[in-house]
Amino acid sequence: MRAVVFEQWKMPPVLRDVDKPAPGPGEVLLKIAGAGACHSDVAVFHDYDESMAPPQLKPSYTLGHENSGWIEELGEGVTGLKEGDAFLVYGPIGCGHCPACSRGQDTYCENVADMPYLATGLGRDGGMAEYMTVPARNLVPLGDADPYAAAPLSDAGLTPYHAINLSLPKLAGGGKSTLVIGLGGLGLVAVQILRAITGATVIATDMKPEAMARAEQFGAVTVPGGEGQAARIRDLTGGKGVSAVFDFVGVAPTIALAMGTVARQGRVTIVGIAGGAFEWNFYKTPYEVDLTSTYWGTIEELHEVAALYRAGQIAPDVEYFSMDDALTAYQKLQDGQIAGRAVVTPNGR
């Protein structure tokens, strides 16, 4: 079968033939419906090298860490699941028995140092292939909802959902505002989630006018970048500032914007992995502001994201690519030419 394989640091992935995998005990073989191209993949093959990446990310393996598909075959000991049914895949795979894994938060597995990989598509073969094996525990049912457009929910949905979930206490009560910085794969779903589960005014910004136009269609108020941006955002909040900021870029200027617009007792969550720095200062930061970062989410939260999708409350914007064009999808993502999420459909549509 064909797969998009990450073979070497600092080199684009290659499209080549690999063996069709067989499910081990407790696993299923999934026929892939969609595999999303995440900007973190670009970091993996373009920015990282041996010295800075976790050892589990060492090549080579098939990319694709946000996936959906149908059960093709049940491995030994798997019961209660049916061939042909459609699922989202929870990508992270931890030890399965530490406190973090026990609450479905494999992202923070306490035994990660002993794990050979971090997730499907991140150290272990992922979904940019016709088939992939997955532990049965990592499957989240999609019912009869469209499995192709669902693929990004596994990361571009779950990651914002987790960040927003942890910020909900800040958004409770009337008259609150929230700010989303970066309206790509993750940010556009973040706007939808904020509109679906909070009553806050959603303010959004991006460098791309078309991304901001899309956010407006989802119910956000947008403010373009440039001089005076923070002041304009503060004005929209009646001078109070925003109660929760979500930065899906993470460079120094976006973190500065977040810290320059957050309200007293607000919360800033950096999700983008650009590695920007910020110098905290007692006199310049409003009192009791939390500045934090988050990584992906929990299995339970992915069930909640799937519920929002199945209820029609959120739906990722998707640009589809055939397997022949999978490498083009990554190139376009790298060049900032994808609106929403690029999804590769290895078995056609």
Would you count residue 302 as binding Zn ion (CB under 5 A)? no
Report the alpha-carbon distance of residue 268 to residue 189 in Å, rounded: 18
289 or 333: CB nearest Zn ion: 333
Nearest alpha carbon to residue 46 among 10, 86, 99: 10
Distances (CA, A) of 295 to 158, 229, 273, 292: 10, 28, 10, 10
Q: Any idea how long the chain is?
A: 349
Strand, coil or helix: what is 17? strand
CB 1 within 8 A of CB 316: no
Least separation in angstroms between residue 182's CB and ligand NAD is 3
Would you count residue 119 as binding ligand NAD (CB under 6 A)? no
Least separation in angstroms between residue 283's CB and ligand NAD is 26
Among positions 72-131, residues that touch Zn ion (CB under 5 A) are: 94-95, 98, 101, 109, 111
Would you count residue 129 as binding ligand NAD (CB under 6 A)? no
Distances (CA, A) of 35 to 62, 98, 187, 246: 11, 29, 18, 25
Integer-rounded Cα Rg, in Å, for the chain is 20
CB 195 within 8 A of CB 219: yes
Among positions 130-159, residues that touch Zn ion (CB under 5 A) are: 155
Would you count residue 186 as binding Zn ion (CB under 5 A)? no
Would you count residue 52 as binding ligand NAD (CB under 6 A)? no
Long-range contact set of residues 101-104: C-beta below 8 Å, sequence gap at least 24: 103/298, 103/300, 104/298, 104/299, 104/300
Least separation in angstroms between residue 121's CB and Zn ion is 8
Would you count residue 291 as binding ligand NAD (CB under 6 A)? no
Would you count residue 92 as binding ligand NAD (CB under 6 A)? no
Among positions 140-179, residues that touch ligand NAD (CB under 6 A) are: 155, 159
Preceding amide of 243 cis, omega within 30: no
Would you count residue 254 as binding ligand NAD (CB under 6 A)? yes
Question: Residue 36's beta-bridge partner residues?
Answer: 343
155 or 206: CB nearest Zn ion: 155
Would you count residue 289 as binding Zn ion (CB under 5 A)? no
Would you count residue 330 as binding ligand NAD (CB under 6 A)? no
Read off the tokens for 201.
Answer: 């005014």
Residue 336 binds which of ligand NAD, Zn ion, none (CB < 5-8 A, kind-dependent):
ligand NAD
Would you count residue 40 as binding Zn ion (CB under 5 A)? yes
Member of 20, 273, 290, 310 binding ligand NAD (CB under 6 A):
273
With vertex at residue 145, the alpha carbon angle to CA 180 and CA 152, rounded to the nearest 5 degrees, is 35
Would you count residue 248 as binding ligand NAD (CB under 6 A)? yes
Residues that bind Zn ion (CB under 5 A): 38, 40, 94-95, 98, 101, 109, 111, 155
Residues that bind ligand NAD (CB under 6 A): 38-40, 43, 155, 159, 181-187, 205-208, 211, 225, 248-251, 253-254, 271-274, 294-296, 333, 336
